[in-house]
Every structure is written in structure tokens, then in C-alpha cells.
Amino acid sequence: MIPGADSAITRNEKSLILAYDHGLEHGPVDFEPNPATADPDRVFEIGTHDAVTAVAVQKGIAEGYYPSYEDDVTLLAKLNGTSNLWMGEPNSAVNWTVENAVEVGAEAIGFTVYGGSNHEIEMVEEFRDAQEAAREHDLGVVMWSYPRGQGLKNATTPSTIAYSTRLGLELGADITKVKYPGSPEAMSHAVTQAADSKVVMSGGSKTDDQDFLTTVRNAMDAGANGLAVGRNVFQRDNPEQILDGLEAVIFEDASVKEALDV
Ligand code: FBP
């Protein structure tokens, strides 16, 4: 069994991670559809929904806001991240240490690796340090495995996504978060390559309820262990309502129709 595979951030081996690092990765533009979500308190409130197994944030958001939610929310410390202002080859600054994340209350770490980037070697070496420190502190390890860079023409082909999940297994992630590769068959292949480690689907830009829940249903049927989602939840007018539907699909094996009706 993968160490930490059933960790604080899973329920019955399934995860619904609410990602809220967009203010760094994309900037304030991501809060425009639902301006209240510029306030981290609003998103931590959303994160108290029963469906959410962890909220993933950067250091400043965790330090400033997590203390008010530590009884109701499991913290996933997103250790690296870079703004959209950076125009170079994909890379990600390591913004906090595992030791500091533990002090703030984290029960898992998240780390982006851009396989295929000219910076892949240093990113993987940074991941190694974080992964080993996480093991020492008994934290779950989630890899945002997003191949990209000048040599990569299409980052979401089935073979690239299967390679992404395999990178997570090979490098010691408990859970690897990947973009949906476009079909249940391709997702199934990617899940197989992760062997006993877990795979969660990345939410992506906002789509309508039917399309989004259908993609999540397909990913679950293909063997995925859940979802790590940001915009498809917090950009909605009613984030709690889509979380009700996601809870039904991910944890209760509901159909899309059933999930739309909850
Ligand atoms: P979404 O569900 O909104 O796609 O969020 C998932 C996520 O991985 C975030 O954690 C991160 O901020 C963002 O996507 C990165 O997106 P990009 O693919 O543009 O780098």
C-alpha cells in the first residue's frame, strides 16, 4: 500500500479537494464571476461543506484565515506556485516549507510538477525534498502533475495524462491531480498507470452543471478517486449547490440525473 494513501484528506479513499490558489496562479480575474470569493473567508466557508475533504491554499491565505476554520476544514498546503505574470518556461516557486505548513495546521501538502518543462529537473528535486519532509511529518502528498513547456504540443493527450499519473506514482505522491484526458477510456488508462496511488481530476474552467457533473461521473467510472476543483465550484452563484451534486457523484455513486436533482 502507498504510504499515506488513505490519509486525512480522503473519505473512503475518495477526495474532493477545493483548490483556492487561483489568486496567485491566475490573478484576481478568477474572482470576477463571483466577486465575494476574492475574500478567503467566503471560500473557507464553502470549504466547510461536508463534501470537501480538504481546502488547498497558499501560505499567506493559510496563515491569515485558516485559524478560524481549523475545526471544520482540513488544510492542504500548496507549497509551490507562480503568478501568471511570469512569462518564462513553466516553473513554480517554492513558497513555504513543510515545517511551516505543519505549524499552520496542514495535514497534506500539494506540489506542482511541470513534467516536460525545461525546469523539470529542479522541480522534481524540490518535490523530493517536500515529499520526504511530508513523510517525516505524516502528511499526505498531492502532486499537481501538469506536463507543459516549450517541447510539449498538447498537454492533455491520453498518453501525456497517463505519463502524468505515472510520474506521481514514481516520485512518491499519494494522490496525483491531472487534467481530464477527454474520454473515460483515456482516464481509465491513466488510472491504471498510477497503480495503487490515487488519481483525482482537475476541475478546469467553469462549465454548466450537466457537462461538469457528467465529466466527473465519467472520471469516477474510469476509476478516479475524486476531484480537485476550484473555478467550477467557487465561480458559481451557488457553490454549495454544486457541492451537493458532487458529493452525490463522488461519495454516493449517484448518476448525473440524481446529482442534478439533489
Ligand atoms: P480549477 O479547478 O479551477 O481548474 O483549479 C485547479 C488548479 O490546478 C488550481 O489549483 C490552479 O490554480 C489552477 O488549476 C492552475 O491552472 P492552470 O492549468 O492554468 O495552470
| 87-126 per-position pLDDT tens digit | 999 999 999 999 999 999 999 999 999 999 999 999 999 9
Residues with CB under 6 A from ligand 1: 19, 21-22, 25, 144, 202-204, 229-232
Q: What are the residue ranges spanned by the domains of the chain?
A: 15-261
Q: Which of 177, 179, 198, 206 is catalytic?
A: 177
15-261, what's its fold? TIM Barrel (3.20.20)
Question: Could you tell me the pTM of the whole model?
Answer: 0.96
Cα separation, 262 vs 254, in Å, equals: 10
Q: Ligand 1 centre from 205 Cα, in Å?
A: 8
The ipTM of this complex is 0.93
DSSP-derived secondary structure letter, 28: G
The residue contributing the CA closest to ligand 1 atom 14 is 204
User: What is the distance in A from the centroid of ligand 1 to the CA of 230?
Assistant: 7
**pLDDT per position as a tens digit, 42-96:** 999 999 999 999 999 999 999 999 999 999 999 999 999 999 999 999 999 999 9
β-strands 140-145, 93-94: how paired?
unpaired
Q: What is the pLDDT of residues 156-195, one digit of tens each?
A: 899 999 999 999 999 999 999 999 999 999 999 999 999 9
Asked whether residue 154 carries a pLDDT value surpassing 90, the answer given is no
**Ligand 1: nearest atom to the Cα of 20:** 10
What pLDDT, in 10s, does the model give residues 211-225? Answer: 999 999 999 999 999
Pocket test for ligand 1, best of 22, 43, 152, 179 (most atoms within 8 A of CB): 22
For CA atoms 189, 193, 198, 202, give the dihedral sign: negative
Residue 109: beta bridge partners? 77, 141
Q: Which three cell numbers stand for residue 241?
A: 449547490
Give yes or no: 179 in active site.
no
pLDDT of 153 reads 75
As given in the structure block, the three cell numbers for residue 96 are: 513555504
Check: CB of residue 219 under 8 Å from CB of residue 246: no
Output the CA 233–ligand 1 centroid distance in Å.
Answer: 12
